[in-house]
Amino acid sequence: MTAPANKQTTFIDLGLMPYDEAWAYQTRLFEEILEIKKSNRDKTEGEAQPTPNYLIFCEHPHVYTLGKSGKEENLLLPLEQLRTRGATYHRINRGGDITYHGPGQLVAYPVMDLENFFTDIHRYMRTLEEAVIQTVRHFGLNATRVPGLTGVWLQNPDRKICALGVKTSRWVTMHGLALNVNTDLSYFEHIVPCGIDDKTVTSMQHELQRPVPMEEVNKVLRAQLFHLFGMTS
């Protein structure tokens, strides 16, 4: 039995947290939701427990992550050399190829039951992108999508400002998006970002030629995600 839709969403700001710790944290929440959905199958109407939703924001120390369909050759440095740059490396269970996370990059992990909102993965991805497009527009940047590619881009030439990579199971989501705010873009020189070798990467700071307050970007992106998904607090 499916429980009534629950759009209430708990916002959690983890601050700066090592990637593996944040991954374990969101995995616990993800599995909690799946377990509730599993137990609801044996319950009658009125007994089914609503599933919770979470929106996690954080930053990570320098780390490279490779999605389940990614190619290790897109990491251009030997693993032992990553340590000299203070970076770690993880193969993970999201979609997509290789990407970089680090200080100055705002990472958002929606851990939510899409049955509380809409059951359409394509729409889910486009909604995440739209939240970022509206967020950077608030700061004066005209971002868009590139046909056939995931993420948020500035154009002429194409340069990616936000990467997306998600995992879903029984309409429950984890992983999410990474928006380059004040990111050290030199770390992208050691990978083929997202496996795309003819595009560049940028940040809000690089485009605006000034540091951008992370707390302000945090506030705007959070508001956009709540608005576009119809989340309640």
- CB neighbours of 142 closer than 8 A, spacing ≥ 6? 154
- Give me the pLDDT at residue 94, please: 87
Question: Which CATH number goes with the domain that contains 52?
Answer: 3.30.930.10
Q: 75, 114, 194, 221: which is the annotated catalytic residue? A: 194
Domain count, the chain: 1
3-state secondary structure of 69: coil
* 82 in any annotated domain: yes
Give the torsion through C-alpha atoms of 54, 67, 23, 26, to 10 deg.
20
Sign of the C-alpha dihedral computed for residues 203, 20, 76 and 194 taken in this order: negative
* 1 in any annotated domain: no
3-state secondary structure of 8: strand
Q: What's the distance, CA 64 to chain centroid? A: 14
Tell me the C-alpha distance between 186 and 176, whole Å: 23
Which DSSP letter does residue 73 get? G
Helix axes 121-138, 214-229, angle to 10 degrees: 140
Range of the domain at 48: 9-228
pLDDT in tens, the chain (233 residues): 567 799 999 999 999 999 999 999 999 999 999 999 999 988 877 788 999 999 999 999 999 998 887 888 888 888 778 888 889 988 888 877 888 999 999 999 999 999 999 999 999 999 999 999 999 999 999 999 999 999 999 998 899 999 999 999 999 999 999 999 999 999 998 887 655 556 799 999 999 999 999 999 999 999 999 999 999 99
* 78 in any annotated domain: yes
Q: Has 194 been annotated as catalytic?
A: yes
* 4 in any annotated domain: no
* 3 in any annotated domain: no
Asked if residues 180 and 204 have their Cβ atoms less than 8 Å apart, the reply is yes
- Give me the pLDDT at residue 194, please: 59
Tell me the C-alpha distance between 82 and 89, whole Å: 8
Name the token pair of 43.
């319950």
**Dihedral pair phi/psi, residue 160, rounded to 5°:** -85, 130
Name the token pair of 67.
């999605």
* 233 in any annotated domain: no
* 218 in any annotated domain: yes
* 164 in any annotated domain: yes
